[in-house]
Each structure stands twice: as structure tokens, then as C-alpha cells.
A and B are shown apart, each in its own frame.
Chain A
Amino acid sequence: MTDLRREALKHAMPWLFLAGLLIVWEVSCIVFQVPEIILPKPTKIFAVFFQRFDILMAYCWDTLWTTTVGFLLAIAFGLLLGLAIGASPFVYSGLYPLLIAFNAIPKVAIVPILMIWVGVGSLPAVITAFVISFFPIVVNVATGLATIEPEMRDVLRSLGASRLEILTKVGIPRAMPYLFASLKVAITLAFIGSVISETVGGNNGIGFLMLSASARNDAPTTFAGLFAIAIMGVAMYAVCAMVEKRMTRWAFRGEIVA
């Protein structure tokens, strides 16, 4: 019984901490009489959140789909490039340094360029999400391939398998846990990418909503947008983590306890 209780408490801990944080926030706002325009009280933010729920949802939806499209593109492209890099030492030595260099560019710097090329709207957000999130996917898939145990490859070689067969029968399954592990990181990055793009130069999405609300000195709405972003971010991460668990059960070696 006490074990169960401890377990339940452990699961409740993040929520308790969150509640504690919000209460401290609320109380300090009241005690120090912080002006609403600088830091609104959480209760006020929630009130606005529900008042403007429809508008928030509409903008969230925009961000959500630009993020998702960018993310899916990143998976497709990242997987292909990762397989190419992991499978061929030549592609590896040619592309890897370039990728590292490219990754070192702060992505917010490319948004203005994208706006010159494709104008404002959803497209820059999609592209930014894609560009910022494909890197961890490429690196992880390439690592998964490059670290295959030679013995595993020998099994197939001794059967007379072609390079393609070795790739599909060992390489890809072996790279899958690496791919799925990278998705958690990539989705968060994709989300950052689309919000950055909306904030720097967009005309919709939650980033744009926050920017325009702050331009009107509407702090509660700005904060409501922040909350919405946080919730979306956590939800997307959770989905990816769940998919990872599902798809690569063998890598986790199951649960042992009866």
C-alpha cells in the first residue's frame, strides 16, 4: 500500500510543483501589487485563456499544422539523408562537416531570407520548422547505421546478401530506435522554428498572436498565448515519446516485473 502511494505521489509531483508555482505567482502578484501590464495573475491569464479560447485555438491550429508539416518533411528528408550518410563513408566525409556548419547558423537568421523568397504566411513557418528539426534526425539515423555491430552485418554477408538487403534487414531496423529517439528532440525544435518564424515575420499562428497582443500592451492575452504554446509543446513531445515506446519495444527490452 505504501509502495503504491509512493508511486502515485511520484506521478503527482510534477502537477503539485506546477500548482505550487502558480500559487506563488498569484500570491506575489497580489502582495507586491504587480501591474497587470507587466505580469498578469495566473487566474487572470486563465480567464482570458477561456474567454478567447476560440481565437486561441484558431491560431494554435495554424502553428500546429505548420509545425507538423515541417516536422514530417524533416522526418522524410532526415531519414533519407541519415541513411545515405550512415551507409556510405564518402557521403559521410563529404556532408557531415557541412551539416555541422549549417547547424551552427542560428535559424532565426534565415527567416528574413525566407520572407524575401516566399513572402509572409505559413510557408516560412513550415520551412523554418523543417530546417531547424531535420538536423538531429539526420545525425541520429546516421549514428544508428554507423554503429551496427559488424557481427550483425556478417550474418547477412555470410548468407550472400546484397548491400541493399543488409541495409533493409539490419541497417534500417537498427536505426529505428535512434530515429524515434531523435523525434522527441526534433518535434520540440520544429515547434520552436515555426513560432520563431511567426514571431519574426508572420501573419498568423500563435507567435503572431502573441506579438500583436504585446503590441497592444495586452499582457494577459500574450501570456495566454505562452500557456497555449507550453501545452502544445508538451503534448507534441508526449505523442512522440509514446510513438517511440510503441515502435521500438525491443530496444527497451520490455518490462521485466510480473
Chain B
Amino acid sequence: MAFVDLKGVSLTYRLGKDTTLALADATFGIEKGEFIAVVGPSGCGKSTIMKLVTGLLPPSGGEVMVDGKKVKGPIKGVGMAFQNPTLMPWRTTMNNILLPMEVVEPHKRRFRSHRAEYVERAMKLLKTVGLTDFADKYPWQLSGGMQQRSNLCRALIHEPELLMLDEPFGALDAFTREELWGVMQALWLEKRFTGVLVTHDLREAVYLADTVYVMSRRPGRIVLAKKIDIPRPRTLATTFEPHFVDIVHELRDRIHQEHAP
């Protein structure tokens, strides 16, 4: 069985009498060490899927399994970068990034005594995203893109087995973004975590993922699962190769069908 397994999962948001069917009948599996991308029109339930997989939301129907166990509450060992960078305004960037270390075992036990070591680790991460000079700044002193990069660092620092990224590069300029694709890929090649990436950028999806899932409009269903058979490491040059471009076009056509009523 797959590492992450969704069987007929649906979700209805409810507020009093007001209900929204956000996700309908999602069925797919993610192998251990696989990196998948989810694309689809805005509001189709991508963020919802992320919250279902990590157990932040209970499904209204169907079943979510992670690592062979049914998900009943928030699961451990996840790194999650939320769509809007939810950094804590009372902590500096550094302390925000170190937050998982204060909560997640086994780091939690060692954190106080080995603080310097963890700070160094965080600094290394900050360096890869180009934020070395901002470690001691507060989140509200950072730009939107900088906040997003810090957010990414926080998701990565405890080297989670399962990494959930909800549009982590959305607020970045094209150059920084492409640079971070490289960083992300290198990290994955080294650690081989299981990754889920939500994005609106099809090139990004094809660059990073083993499988790209295309979702329909709300209520979201998975309408296409596209295996990306391009060998790694992929480079920026790869993104201009005909095969890469063909895949992007195929995905784009499929999403266009979703937009046309």
C-alpha cells in the first residue's frame, strides 16, 4: 500500500446551514519517497487536500491513511508550508524557523542544550533561500516573498518524512522561484522525503514532481494523473526541451477544459 492513501475522500465545509462541498471523491496514493504536484483552478480544494492528509481536518467521507494508519488527528513528522505564511509576529525569523525544534521529537529534548547547533542548521537553510541577513528581523519587517521563504525554511528544518508545500513560491519573482526549484530538487535528491506540492505554475509542477495530479473545478476531483518520466536532476535547460514543453502543454490543455464551462 502507498505511503499516503486517499480512498473516496470528500470534504464539506459547514458553517451553520451554509455548506460548501470543497472536495469530492479524491482517490490517489503517494508512494514513500515520491514527490507529487497538485494543480487545478483556484478554489478547487487543493489546500483542503493538504489539511486532510495532515489530519488538520477530518474528512466528511472516505478514508485517509498515512504510513498504514488511518488518520484521526494531526499526524506527527510532517513539515507543512501553509499557503499564507503563518509566521508568528512575536518571534524573529530565526526563532520562527526553530519553532518545530521546540515541538518535534527528538529535537525537542535536545533543543535547549544544543541550541547553537540548531541555530547553525537554521542559518544554513536561511542561506539557501538568501535570507542570512534577516535572521534577527521580525516577520513584519520582511517582504511577502521573504516571509514565504522563511515559511519554507520552517517546514524543512526538522527534515520531515512528509513535506506538504502549499504554493510555497507563489509570492516570488520568476528568478528566485526557479532558483528555489533547484534547491528543492537537490534537497529531495539528498533526503528522499515524500513531497506534496500545490502550485499554479505548471512548469514548476513538471520540474519538481514524479506525478502531477490535475483537479477539476470545485467540487474538486482528480481528472488526470500524469507521470513525469524526465530523469533527474532536471535543470532550467530541461524546461525548454520539447518533451518537457509537451507535458506542460498537455496539462495546460486539460486545465483549460476545466475553465471552459
A156 and B138 contacting across the interface, CB-CB below 8 Å: no
Contact of A160 among B88, B91, B103, B154 (CB under 8 A): B103
B86 and A155 contacting across the interface, CB-CB below 8 Å: yes
Q: How big is chain A's contact interface, by range?
A: 20 to 34
Task: Report Cα–Cα, A233/B190, bound state, in Å.
Answer: 64
A160 and B86 contacting across the interface, CB-CB below 8 Å: no
Q: Which residues of chain A (159-193) have a CB below 8 Å from chain B?
A: 159-161, 165, 169-170, 173-174, 176
The verdict on A149 contacting chain B, using a C-beta distance below 8 Å, is yes
Given A250-B138, A253-B140, A156 contacting B89 (CB threshold 8 A): no
Chain B residues whose C-beta falls within 8 Å of the C-beta of A161 in the assembled complex: 103
Chain A residues whose C-beta falls within 8 Å of the C-beta of B74 in the assembled complex: 157-158, 160
Q: How big is chain B's contact interface, by range?
A: 20 to 34
Given A169-B99, A173-B88, A250-B140, A158 contacting B56 (CB threshold 8 A): yes
**Which residue of chain A has the shortest Cβ distance to B83 in the bound complex?**
A151
The verdict on A97 contacting chain B, using a C-beta distance below 8 Å, is no
Given A158-B54, A158-B80, A170 contacting B89 (CB threshold 8 A): no
Task: Report Cα–Cα, A251/B78, bound state, in Å.
Answer: 30
Given A158-B54, A253-B140, A152 contacting B86 (CB threshold 8 A): yes
The verdict on A254 contacting chain B, using a C-beta distance below 8 Å, is yes
B82 and A155 contacting across the interface, CB-CB below 8 Å: yes
B89 and A169 contacting across the interface, CB-CB below 8 Å: no
A159 and B89 contacting across the interface, CB-CB below 8 Å: no
Chain A residues whose C-beta falls within 8 Å of the C-beta of B170 in the assembled complex: none
**Which residue of chain A has the shortest Cβ distance to B56 in the bound complex?**
A154
Task: Report Cα–Cα, A254/B103, bound state, in Å.
Answer: 29
Chain A residues whose C-beta falls within 8 Å of the C-beta of B140 in the assembled complex: 250, 253-254
Chain A residues whose C-beta falls within 8 Å of the C-beta of B77 in the assembled complex: 160
* Per-residue interface assignment for chain A, residues 213 to 252, with 1 indicating a CB less than 8 Å from any chain B CB and 0 otherwise: 0000000000000000000000000000000000010110
The verdict on B100 contacting chain A, using a C-beta distance below 8 Å, is yes
The verdict on B249 contacting chain A, using a C-beta distance below 8 Å, is no
Which residue of B75, B76, B103, B154 has the most chain A CB atoms within 10 A of its CB atom? B103
Task: Report Cα–Cα, A151/B89, bound state, in Å.
Answer: 13
**Which residue of chain B has the shortest Cβ distance to A251 in the bound complex?**
B89
A158 and B86 contacting across the interface, CB-CB below 8 Å: no
B103 and A156 contacting across the interface, CB-CB below 8 Å: yes
Task: Report Cα–Cα, A176/B141, bound state, in Å.
Answer: 20
Given A152-B86, A250-B90, A169 contacting B102 (CB threshold 8 A): yes
Within the complex, the shortest CB–CB distance from A73 to chain B, in Å, comes to 26
Task: Report Cα–Cα, A154/B158, bound state, in Å.
Answer: 17
* Per-residue interface assignment for chain B, residues 141 to 166, with 1 indicating a CB less than 8 Å from any chain A CB and 0 otherwise: 10000000000001000100000100
**Which residue of chain A has the shortest Cβ distance to B108 in the bound complex?**
A165
**Which residue of chain B has the shortest Cβ distance to A165 in the bound complex?**
B103
Within the complex, the shortest CB–CB distance from B114 to chain A, in Å, comes to 18
Which residue of A156, A158, A176 has the most chain B CB atoms within 10 A of its CB atom? A158
Chain A residues whose C-beta falls within 8 Å of the C-beta of B76 in the assembled complex: 159-160
Chain A residues whose C-beta falls within 8 Å of the C-beta of B99 in the assembled complex: 155-156, 159, 169
* Per-residue interface assignment for chain B, residues 2 to 24, with 1 indicating a CB less than 8 Å from any chain A CB and 0 otherwise: 00000000000000000000000
Chain A residues whose C-beta falls within 8 Å of the C-beta of B158 in the assembled complex: 159
The verdict on B84 contacting chain A, using a C-beta distance below 8 Å, is yes
The verdict on B104 contacting chain A, using a C-beta distance below 8 Å, is yes
Task: Report Cα–Cα, A171/B82, bound state, in Å.
Answer: 19
Chain A residues whose C-beta falls within 8 Å of the C-beta of B78 in the assembled complex: 158-160
Task: Report Cα–Cα, A139/B67, bound state, in Å.
Answer: 44
B88 and A170 contacting across the interface, CB-CB below 8 Å: yes
Chain B residues whose C-beta falls within 8 Å of the C-beta of A251 in the assembled complex: 89-90
Task: Report Cα–Cα, A161/B141, bound state, in Å.
Answer: 27
Contact of A250 among B75, B82, B89, B102 (CB under 8 A): B89
Chain B residues whose C-beta falls within 8 Å of the C-beta of A170 in the assembled complex: 88
B82 and A154 contacting across the interface, CB-CB below 8 Å: yes
Within the complex, the shortest CB–CB distance from A193 to chain B, in Å, comes to 32
Given A158-B80, A160-B75, A151 contacting B103 (CB threshold 8 A): no
Told that A169-B102, A248-B90 touch, could you supply 4 new A-B pairs with CB distance under 8 A? A152-B88, A155-B82, A176-B90, A250-B138
Question: Would you mind naming 23 contact pairs between A and B with Cβ atoms under 8 Å apart?
Answer: A154-B56, A154-B82, A155-B82, A155-B154, A156-B99, A156-B103, A158-B56, A158-B74, A158-B80, A159-B78, A159-B100, A159-B158, A160-B74, A160-B103, A160-B104, A161-B103, A165-B103, A174-B90, A176-B90, A248-B90, A253-B89, A253-B140, A254-B138
> Which residues of B are at the interface with A, using a C-beta cutoff of 8 A?
51, 54, 56, 74-78, 80, 82, 84, 86, 88-91, 99-100, 102-104, 138, 140-141, 154, 158, 164
> Which residues of A are at the interface with B, using a C-beta cutoff of 8 A?
149, 151-152, 154-161, 165, 169-170, 173-174, 176, 248, 250-251, 253-254
